[in-house]
Amino acid sequence: MFHSIYGTEGFQGFCLPYERRDDVRSLIGDRAEYLVHTFCSVDRLSVDNDLGSEPGGHGFRSRPELPGGIRPIDVSDQSIWFDFITLTLADWLEQVEGASTSTNTQFEWHRKGDAWGYRRGAYAKMAEIVGAEIPEAIDLWRSVYSREHPRSRHISQPVTPPMCDAARHARLGLEQPAPRYP
């Protein structure tokens, strides 16, 4: 319910300011707020490229347009990392079908169905990771993606485009790593 409360790389709608973290923490607890804060501040490509890391060696980075610029986000605790990956996968599996029914120029989805390609390889890897501990997760991923129309199955969009001028400006001159799971 709170996962996007501060806004995310792809969702810039209603956002509670980060200065209100204590208020959110008092409502949902420290651990849940840490997951929420990470979900909102993380650079999605850093998450995707971390999926093959060894347990205990995980680390993400923040979005460059946020105050403080790019900084490490500690997810070395394996249970935090796993819960974050589970949250990320569940959030997308809930949205992808609806997102695919229309276009979204901000996301560069110019045709209906383009949303299916968004971070396709990364979500498949997340389903594999989560499914190893929660078999229903891989079943759900298969079920959702089985409903994709064949004409969009070749689409791959491994990186979230910048959603605002601040994000575009912050990415100027930054070298982006290649996606490991396109």
Strand, helix or coil for residue 74: strand
Contact 112, 101 (CB under 8 A): yes
Residue 51 near residue 81 (C-beta atoms within 8 A): no
What pLDDT is attached to residue 13? 61
Give the strand pairing for 72-74 and 59-61. antiparallel
Please tell me the pTM assigned to this model.
0.93
Nearest-angstrom CA–CA distance, 129 and 81: 11
SS3 content of the chain, % helix, strand, coil (to 5): 50, 5, 40
Q: Kindly report the CA angle at 52 between 176 and 114, in degrees rounded to 5?
A: 60
Read off φ and ψ for residue 18, nearest 5 degrees. Answer: -60, -25
Q: Could you list the pLDDT tens digit for every one of the 182 residues in the chain?
A: 778 777 677 776 667 788 888 998 999 999 999 999 999 889 999 999 999 999 889 999 998 888 888 999 999 999 999 999 999 999 999 999 999 999 999 999 999 999 999 999 999 999 999 999 999 999 999 999 999 999 999 999 999 998 888 888 998 888 889 999 99
